[in-house]
Chains A and B, each alone.
Chain A
Amino acid sequence: DAKTTQPTSMDCAEGRAANLPCNHSTISGNEYVYWYRQIHSQGPQYIIHGLKNNETNEMASLIITEDRKSSTLILPHATLRDTAVYYCMINAGNNRKLIWGLGTSLAVNP
């Protein structure tokens, strides 16, 4: 089974880019990488996902290495409201088997 590993916590200065890594060295070829974030006292919220190519949306960018063994979520200009726990998740593409990391607690400092 795929497994995801994330750092427990990170800090970032407001206005700077936040780069959150995730290791998923056992990922299979048909498994997608998803990122979610959870603000205190709320449920997780979807951010972005990808398979092989880098992806960008209005919230973030996702960089997946060529061997797909790791990925990085980039918040280009972090704000105080980006302080949250960020989860990396592997999805085999059918929602039947979802492998969640333990999350990275990101603190954005003024």
Chain B
Amino acid sequence: DVKVTQSSRYLVKRTGEKVFLECVQDMDHENMFWYRQDPGLGLRLIYFSYDVKMKEKGDIPEGYSVSREKKERFSLILESASTNQTSMYLCASSLVWARGTGELFFGEGSRLTVL
């Protein structure tokens, strides 16, 4: 069964802390995504990676960075967490378009609370 695993379902951090959210996929997918999901705002793309060490900014990259050193792992980093980064964070992966239908496979999400 295909799987996208996010390291933590629930995290509580303090303002100013550095936060790492880890995501691992076991499907040999080239594309990986980080979204945040907030009530009334839907899914908003933070960063997208189409290959190892390759990344593109999404719609709301400010305050975030990412790392993709291995194909299966895509990390989201909050350098200095702020209360407005309290949210649900969703990781997803997909094949490149030419190799499949392009459907995204999502992890179960990481709910981050910044106090």
The listed residue (B40, B90, B102) touching A32 by CB distance below 8 A is B102
Nearest B-chain residue to A32, judged by Cβ: B102
Closest B residue to A94 using CB positions: B97
- Which A residues are in CB contact (< 8 Å) with B51? none
Given A96-B48, A96-B56, verify A43-B42 contact (CB < 8 Å): no
Known A-B contacts A49-B101, A95-B97; the reply to A44 vs B106 at CB < 8 A is yes
A74-110 to B contact mask, C-beta < 8 Å, 1/0: 0000000000000100010111101011110000000
Nearest A residue to B102 via CB reads A95
Query: How distant is B34 from chain A, measured CB to nearest CB, in Å?
Result: 12
* CB-based contact B106/A95 at 8 Å: no
Summarize B's interface: helix, strand, loop or mixed.
strand
Interface residues on B, range: 20 to 34
* Chain B residues within 8 Å of A98, by CB: 45, 104
Given contacts A94-B97, A95-B94, contact A43 B106 (CB under 8 A): yes
CA distance A42 to B105 in the complex (A): 12
Given contacts A98-B45, A101-B42, A103-B42, contact A46 B56 (CB under 8 A): no
Closest residue of B by beta carbon distance from A46:
B103
Closest 3 pairs between A and B when the two form their complex, measured CB to CB: A43-B106, A46-B103, A102-B42
